[in-house]
């Protein structure tokens, strides 16, 4: 059964750090780009970061550049999102998603599989 399971969310003070994990099973993980997305209360879902199949290409939303780092371990079927210097505006449910397209840039509408999300709350 195909699954993406996010973990690592929680409550943190402004300026703090969290590391999110996205564990995959049921498909050939290394054939998929993985993206992190987030949805804040009352807002639409937005892209945060994307990593290519081999991990050699990454991209970030402007709002998180320099603070967040995406990485993957294909041997463990896991993608990570290291989040530093967190701000209150980073509060959201964070989702990971997989896209099988070879040159994926993790466009929200193109993602094939989604996890159920993990909540990150940053208190000011």
- Under the banding of pLDDT at 50, 70 and 90, the label for residue 1 is confident
CA distance 92 to 121: 7
Instruction: Record the tokens describing residue 119, joined without a space.
Output: 């909540």
Which segments of 8-107 are extended strands (E)? Answer: 10-13, 18-25, 33-39, 45-51, 58-60, 68-73, 78-83, 92-99
Q: Give the chain's mean pLDDT.
A: 97
- pLDDT digits over 32-55, tens only? 999 999 999 999 999 999 999 999
Burial class, 50, CB count within 10 angstroms (exposed 0-12 / middle 13-18 / buried 19+): buried
- pLDDT digits over 65-111, tens only? 999 999 999 999 999 999 999 999 999 999 999 999 988 989 999 99
**pLDDT for the residue 102:** 87
Instruction: Record the tokens describing residue 71, joined without a space.
Output: 């990485």
Q: Is 31 helix (H, G, I), strand (E, B) or coil?
A: helix
């Amino acid at each position: 059964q195909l699954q993406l399971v996010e973990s690592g969310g929680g409550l943190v003070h402004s300026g703090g750090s969290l590391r999110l994990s996205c564990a995959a099973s049921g498909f050939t993980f290394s054939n998929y780009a993985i993206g992190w997305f987030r949805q804040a209360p009352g807002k639409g879902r937005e892209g945060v970061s994307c990593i290519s199949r081999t991990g050699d290409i990454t991209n970030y939303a402007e709002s998180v550049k320099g603070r967040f780092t995406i990485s993957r371990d294909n041997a463990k079927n896991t993608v990570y999102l290291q989040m530093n210097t967190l701000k209150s505006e980073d509060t959201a449910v964070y989702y990971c998603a997989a896209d099988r397209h070879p040159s994926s840039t993790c466009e929200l509408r193109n993602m094939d599989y989604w996890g159920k999300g993990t909540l990150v709350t940053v208190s000011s």
